[in-house]
Amino acid sequence: MTVRFNTVDVDGLKVFYRSAGASDAPVVLLLHGFPSASHMFRDLIPELSEHYHVVAPDLPGFGLTEQPSRGPFAYSMTQSRSSESFSYTFENLTEVVDRFTEVLGLKKFALYVFDYGAPIGFRLAVKHPERITAIVSQNGNTYLEGVSEAFAPVQAYWNDPSDANRNALRGFLAPETTFFQYTHGVSDPNLVSPDGRNLDDFYLARSGNDEIQLDLLGNYKTNVAMYGEIQAYLREHRPPVLAVWGKNDPFFVPAGAEAFRRDVPEADIRFVDSGHFALETHACEIGAAMREFLAKHV
């Protein structure tokens, strides 16, 4: 297996991505979450690349993709953008991923969505249902019952975007919170490599990244507002769905996985004994579930 590490120009924005597998094989697009990047898929990519063309981009402001300064820019596919400023919203992140797939010529693909990758992937599916061959959601929520009380400080900021409520969220960006995200719900924390979380902390510590992340935490309310539209997409188009969940996730609880059956009754729901970053401990199990699922549907 050969993994390639690439950078592509997407309307003036330099987007880093990993790819593996034959270019003519069915495509699986991996979308990472907060506060990580495509390196979170380092153990999953080898599980898939024998049969699939796997593509994993870093989102703007994450990983090795360009981090433009915050600004009022509203992304437009009709003209090239300047990398000097960028408005960090989930709609703009979705537009970048949309154009990224077009620049790479990815006409149809299965989605793997996790955490922040879920609202981006589901927005993409609502926009282009004909492109989506299947959806794998690993702790990627799109139901109210999947949101835990851990979101209470973020919801307070949605309701009152004051400086005090914004500053109260800075703890989400601290190394101890990253450590918690990686290890909570794991039977043995010594099974979790420090490499991923330390790399995440490195990227979070970049100048200006804290404000970018706070912007996105505030904008996350737009994702919750879209839950109804996303669920309508699932009911209408009935894409094949595999929800494979770290059952001890403190943020997105198992009810969020089970809820997929309400809109896609034939959805395959599975749980692994892990937390939020389930790939850190169960990449082999999740990879095997994906191969079985994708072989049936893609």
Q: What is the pLDDT of residue 78?
A: 42
Sheet holding 132-137, edge to edge: 3-10, 13-20, 53-57, 27-31, 109-113, 132-137, 241-246, 268-272
The DSSP-derived string for 77-107 is TTSPPPTT-B---HHHHHHHHHHHHHHTT--
Say if residues 1 and 27 touch (Cβ distance below 8 Å).
no
**Buried/exposed code over 215-225 (b: 16+ C-beta within 10 A; e: otherwise):** bbbbbbbebbe
Rounded mean pLDDT, 201-222: 97
pLDDT digits (tens, 9 = 90+) for 24-42: 999 999 999 999 999 999 9
For the range 148-157, what are the long-range contacts, defined as Cβ-Cβ under 8 Å and sequence gap of 24 or more? 148/249, 148/250, 148/251, 148/252, 148/253, 150/250, 150/251, 151/251, 154/217, 154/220, 155/221, 157/217, 157/218
pLDDT of res. 75: 46
Domain spans of the chain, in order of start: 3-150+223-297
pLDDT tens-digit map of 132-188:
999 999 999 999 999 999 999 999 999 999 999 999 999 999 999 999 999 999 999
| Mean pLDDT of all residues belonging to the chain | 95
Cβ within 8 Å of residue 292, ≥6 positions away: none
First to last CA, the chain: 21
Which pLDDT does position 77 carry in this prediction?
Answer: 43
H or E element in which residue 57 lies: strand 53-57
User: In the annotation, is 276 catalytic?
Assistant: yes
Are 110 and 27 contacting, i.e. CB atoms less than 8 angstroms apart?
Answer: yes
Which of the four pLDDT bands, split at 50, 70 and 90, describes residue 71?
Answer: confident
Q: Which fold has domain 3-150+223-297?
A: Rossmann fold (3.40.50)
CA distances from 258 to 132, 151, 182, 236 (A): 21, 20, 23, 18
Which residue is catalytic, options 39, 276, 282, 297? 276
Question: Given the structure tokens 């769905």, which residue do they identify?
Answer: 241
Q: Is 115 helix (H, G, I), strand (E, B) or coil?
A: coil
Give me the phi and psi of 141, to 5 degrees please.
-90, 145
Query: For residues 226 and 122, what is the distance between their CA atoms, to the nearest angstrom?
Result: 9
Of the pLDDT bands very low, low, confident and very high (cuts 50, 70, 90), residue 80 is: very low
Residue 1 CB contacts under 8 Å (≥ 6 apart), including other chains: 20, 21, 45, 46, 49, 50
Whole-number pLDDT of residue 73: 52
